[in-house]
Amino acid sequence: MTAVAERGQRTQTRGAARGDDPRTAFVLATVTQIDILSLLGSAFGFDDLRGSIQTYGDVQVLVATPETLYAVKRVTLRLQDKADAQKLKEKFRLKD
């Protein structure tokens, strides 16, 4: 579960605080949330991920594509990831 953060602040999942969840979330002033991963698990490696360059202010960031996020989230065990995968599939009209 991700803790709620004010805009522009960093937050961590409860699992990250315990050391068993590799996500750290940042909520930007634009209400965009960015999850930074330090570990993917066994199904994917960092070399498997595809991304595109997005600009936030003066900073360019490599962001995973919707197709990549869908592929990763649809095969995980967490119910929230499966729900996220379904939302991505619908929003971006992705195929299985």
Q: Which candidate, 50, 53, 54, places its Cα nearest to that of 69?
A: 50
Q: Which domain holds residue 1?
A: 1-39
For residues 50 and 92, membership in a common domain is answered with yes
Q: Are residues 96 and 53 part of one domain?
A: yes
More reliable by pLDDT, 46 or 95: 95
Q: Is the CB of residue 17 less than 8 Å from the CB of residue 6? A: no
pLDDT of 45 > 90? The answer is no
pTM of the model: 0.65
**List of E strands, 1-96:** 9-12, 23-27, 33-37, 51-56, 59-64
**Same domain for 77 and 33?**
no
Summarised one tens digit per residue, pLDDT across range 49-94 is 899 998 878 988 888 899 999 999 999 888 988 999 999 999 999 9
Distances (CA, A) of 17 to 2, 6, 75, 80: 11, 18, 24, 19
